A and B are shown apart, each in its own frame.
Chain A
Amino acid sequence: ATKSMNKDEL
């Protein structure tokens, strides 16, 4: 999938 979900970037 295109998933990342972990928002550790600005």
Chain B
Amino acid sequence: MNIFRLGGDLAHLLAIIILLLKIWTTRSCAGISGKSQILFALTFTARYLDLFTNFVSVYNSVMKVVYLAAAYATLYLMYVKFKATYDHNHDTFRLEFLILPAAGLALIINHEFSIIEVMWTFSIYLEAVAILPQLFMVSKTGEAESITSHYLFALGSYRALYIVNWVYRYYSEGFYDMIATLAGVVQTVLYCDFFYLYITKVLKGKKLQLPA
């Protein structure tokens, strides 16, 4: 463990907590893409199949359980409890356009052709594009609540910090994982224009408005 990875995990945890708090306190999931949340739940499910078979540390196991519980709790809040506030009309990204290519690529490019490894690889590729429905929704509605933009900033920062972690681990222990690293770069690049808007607008107290 290093401070970059710990920082990344805490940014990820913060993002998940911000989202749950936003939905719970405003009792509304307006502006949030349920499709992205489905992809995140899928990602964690496919990645943490080894939750009971591969014990790394208490921290690792606890965080996996927290991520899984939070992902499904968010789906419950969006599709059951506050279903009436879910914005179907703006959350229209076709999930199959993301799930099928990620699954196909995971079958072709992986570290090992085994169930657990292909599922892990699928989760890595899926996570890289999981935010697209959310970014698509923000561009369609043309704006986002400030709490939603804080959520996106924390979520985007998490994988950016992981990239620093991989650089650090490469030079300090010779560890590298090209699949996770390249997918992480793609994932972080997708946030770039949002990061620009967040830093130039939201941090100045303005609302996040996307040029329509």
Chain A interface residues (CB < 8 Å from chain B):
1-5, 7-10
Contacts and interface: CB of A to CB of B under 8 A. Distances in A.
B120 A7 contact: yes
Q: How large, as a class, is the contact surface on chain B? A: 20 to 34
Contacts of B179: 2, 4
B143 interface: no
A10 B57 CA distance: 11
A10 B175 contact: no
Contact of A10 (B63, B176, B177, B178): B63
In the complex, which of the residues A7, A8, A10 has the most CB atoms of chain B within 10 Å of its own CB atom? A10
A9 B111 contact: no
B67 A4 contact: no
Contact of B67 (A2, A3, A9, A10): A10
A5 to B, nearest CB: 6
A9 B162 CA distance: 10
